[in-house]
């Protein structure tokens, strides 16, 4: 299942960058939470609406530098039901100028992304 989680994390950024909000919604649990330095967004519909209509810059990209899996996500501790994925990357403007560096920590409920905690610098 861990490869599926890595794939889903990568698909999350593809959906954001391509403005594919149907695909984005399909990745998220109904009670999805995004906790970021400037706000917390609760609920899949609220999050997708924010990304589609309210975020300050929509023409951005999210190059991924590294992906890390927790022990539980990779099944090494015998509990494949838990765990998550952490993604280290960059948020770039349309002209490829850096906006921020980030680490997103993904928590899953089954195949759905249940939560993302974002840390930026």
Q: 2-120 domain in CATH 3.10.450.50? A: yes
Q: Is the pTM of this model over 0.85?
A: yes
Distance (Å, whole) CA 71 – CA 85: 10
Buried b (16+ CB within 10 A) or exposed e, 35-70: eeeeeebeebeebbeebeeeeeeeebbbeeeebebb
Query: What is the chain's mean pLDDT, rounded?
Result: 91
For the segment 6-21, the average pLDDT, to the nearest whole number, is 97
What pLDDT, on a 0 to 100 scale, did the predictor assign at position 77? 43
Q: Measuring CA to CA, which residue among 110, 118, 109, 114 is closest to residue 43?
A: 114
Q: Is the pLDDT of residue 43 over 90?
A: yes
Q: What is the pLDDT of residues 68-98, one digit of tens each?
A: 998 764 444 444 456 799 999 999 999 999 9
Instruction: Tell me the average pLDDT across 36-40.
Output: 95
């Amino acid at each position: 299942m861990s490869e599926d989680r890595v794939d889903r994390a990568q698909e999350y950024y593809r959906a954001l960058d391509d403005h594919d909000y149907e695909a984005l919604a399909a990745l998220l649990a109904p009670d999805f939470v995004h906790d970021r330095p400037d706000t917390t967004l609760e609920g899949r519909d609220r999050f997708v609406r924010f990304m589609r209509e309210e975020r300050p810059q929509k023409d951005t990209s999210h190059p991924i530098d590294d992906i890390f899996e927790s022990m539980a996500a990779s099944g090494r501790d015998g509990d494949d039901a838990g765990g998550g994925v952490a993604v280290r990357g960059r948020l770039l403007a349309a002209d490829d100028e850096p906006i921020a560096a980030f680490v997103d920590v993904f928590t899953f409920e089954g195949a759905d992304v249940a939560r993302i905690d974002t840390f930026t610098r």
